[in-house]
Structure 1
Amino acid sequence: MKKIMNAAATAICLFAMAWTAVSCSSDDNHQNSADQMLKNMLGSYEGTLGFSYSTSTISGWTTSWKVDETRIITIDKFPYRTLANGVSKEGSTGTESPLHAALLKVKDAPLKAVIKGIGLSDSNASLTIIPQIKFNVTIDGDTYEMKGYITDDKPMFSSRYTMSNSEMVLEFTVEKLVKVNNAHGTSEVQKDFDRPVTYYLKANKK
């Protein structure tokens, strides 16, 4: 029974989704392992970005990001215009959606993602990330703030860090866009954004 209890406690330590290491008497090295993993994640990364929507997948774009001491990932130049692929009314078979046209004009800009949790397993770490998708868009001559919302049902290891080769993989799906009118304090879900867009980023620390 004692062995079973120790095994259960160890499992809780290894997969606890929190930045603060779990204190477990059965695993005295867990905190040191977590601290070392976090330190190894800090730095600059270079790699590739891809995305998929509907039945299409595009890959091979270059990307770079940084992870700082506050556990924030800053993607230097995120291609927000690719969110236009989430609008099915592209104009090829009818009238183009104003949202589609507006998104195509959005310039690349930084995207920040907060690392909210970590699960340790050997030399790997599964990551829980929350991208802060927010940018300005001009529709019919007026400028609005656009916010993107992600799905939270991704598998545990869809975003991860591997210590052996300092590789970080990020994955998230934008499933909803909301137009915010800050001047009037209103917001509106963009119904024309009807196809989720999933992003895949992989990079190694420089």
Structure 2
Amino acid sequence: MKTETKNTINSNIMQIEIIKGDITKIEVDAIVNAANSSLLGGGGVDGAIHRAGGKQVLEACIEIRNRQGKCKTGEAIATTAGNLPAKFVIHTVGPIWNNNEEKCSKLLADCYKNSLKLAESLEVKTISFPNISTGVYRFPKELAGKIAMDEVKKFHSERLKKVIFVCFDDENEEIYTRLLE
């Protein structure tokens, strides 16, 4: 799948870019995975990242599970990227939408905040995010996009130079492009 840059702005010293495409093909220092709490892969972007990353990603996730148990919603952990064109995969567990807007919104914001903090601690310069929780977790796409964009825009980092939102579908691409303007 060919990726296409749609829109870019500079927020503080960090560039924000919107791309429609396959997150497993984007060359960045860290790819964020919209993981499930088991960390063992699943459907959607989680399954795609595990398949493309290969057994190294799964083995690293199993090690983490054996050490700490499941990953809680809103938390973020890092593993090798295996065969992906990145150094790290940052796994974060997004909330399952349950109509509790306040609680779900805070948990989704935590996914972005904790992923960005972890990326900074790993000295990452470029990071790509999927549209966390907007697939099978049914988080409303417009609200999810606003939360994602707000968290990235207010995050200040001396290290992180570029954040790429990789949208898989036209609807998310339109939402994120509009929110970026």
Is the TM-score greater than 0.5? no
Which of the two has greater strand per residue? Answer: 1
Which of the two has greater helix per residue? Answer: 2
TM-score by length of 1: 0.27
Larger radius of gyration: 1
Work out which structure has the larger RCO, using CA pairs closer than 8 Å and 6 or more positions apart in sequence. Answer: 2
